[in-house]
A = this chain, B = another copy of it.
Amino acid sequence: MNKGALALLVHGGTENWSPQRWKDRFDQVCSDRRVLLLPDAAFDPAEIHYAAVWKPAQGELAAFPNLRVIFNLGAGVDALMADSTLPKVPLVRVAVDDLTVRMTEYVVLHVLMHHRQELYLRASQREKRWAPKFQRPASAISVGVMGLGTLGSNAAQVLGRLGFRVSGWSRSARQIDGIECFHGNAQLEPFLRRTDILVCLLPLTPDTRHILNRELFAKLHRNSPLGAPVLVNAGRGGLQNEADILACLDDGTLGAASLDVYETEPLPADSPFWAHPKVVLTPHNAADTDPDEISKYVARQIERFEAGGTLENVVDPARGY
């Protein structure tokens, strides 16, 4: 039997994400199927049954009349959901352990950096000052995680193991061992009131766009033992109002921020974030994903789908993630 082909549409990425690297991986895990790295010399659009994509151009996917499933090679599907020409077939998000543990690394690192006064300590080192400062234990600090999917839940649990007081907030009710869970608009304010370090791992949807704004920051723990509350955003740049973050850092509403994502990426050279003394900036690398793990995940799902099984982690178009 001639199996439908898999089209790879991979644009951009770091050295580990080269389109050819994806092609090599998919050739191995889909050895009984044609894998096309687009743009490809010669193929018939009708033979494409599956597409695995990273930042495809608007309309690119509409060219395949027999498309059955789209696999996004990252966790966030906001750009795809904004494409009105997207074929009405199941869209599958990545949810592999590899992505989860990498995001937890980032979250734990940045929460600890702020908790352990790294900005102060690095400045002391530059100034050659031996000046230890009172250091609270993790148990004195409340970390609030917005977004309690696979990523948020795992990060919250490791933070709890380190001794932080951890609470979480999500759109709909969740239950996680050892984490006080809040949900919905009505419980957002009590969640924020107790939060010293706010970690944002929300998906970007019309409901969450610019949710990280002055009004929200003003509701964070006002008598925070850290002096002022701290923001860590490793979700999407569209979640944050960047002018508000800068103004709130400057007037003390926020004490510091770790940002991995930005409204415009790469971050423009004239962004005030680069040189801001209270900003710890990373170039959207909180959770690189590994072609090895993800290609296996996609191949497994295709096999199950063709055997009549159910796809996992299918995006709900109404929720947007």
Mark A residues whose CB is within 8 Å of B. 14-16, 98, 101-102, 104-106, 108-109, 112-113, 115-116, 118, 121-122, 124-125, 128, 130-135, 137-139, 158, 161-163, 265-267, 269, 274-275, 280-285, 288, 290
Chain B contacts of A101 at CB under 8 A? 137-139, 162-163
Between A and B, 13 residue pairs with Cβ closer than 8 Å are A102-B135, A102-B137, A105-B115, A109-B109, A109-B112, A109-B116, A113-B113, A121-B282, A128-B275, A130-B267, A132-B284, A134-B288, A135-B285
Question: How close is A164's CB to chain B, nearest CB, in angstroms?
Answer: 9
Number of copies: 2
Are A137 and B98 in contact, with the CB atoms below 8 A? yes
**If the complex has contacts A14-B133, A104-B162, are A124 and B283 also in contact, measured as CB distance less than 8 A?**
yes
Do A131 and B283 touch (CB < 8 A)?
A: yes
Is A14 touching B132 in the complex (CB atoms < 8 A)?
yes
Residues of B contacting A265 in the complex (Cβ-Cβ under 8 angstroms):
130
A8 vs B217: C-alpha distance in the bound complex, in angstroms?
45
Q: Is A132 in contact with B162, judged by CB distance below 8 angstroms?
A: no
By the criterion CB–CB under 8 Å, are A105 and B14 in contact? no
Rounded to whole Å, the gap between the CB of A177 and the closest CB of chain B is 14
Closest B residue by C-beta to A276: B125
Q: For A115, give the chain B residue with the smallest CB separation.
A: B105
What residues on B are CB-neighbors of A132 within 8 Å?
Answer: 14, 283-285, 288
A138 close to B105 (CB less than 8 A): yes
Q: A162-B158, A283-B130 are in contact. Are A274 and B125 (CB under 8 A)?
A: yes
Neighbouring B residues of A116 by C-beta, 8 Å: 105-106, 109
Closest 9 CB pairs of A and B: A130-B266, A109-B112, A132-B285, A132-B283, A101-B163, A128-B274, A125-B281, A130-B283, A16-B134
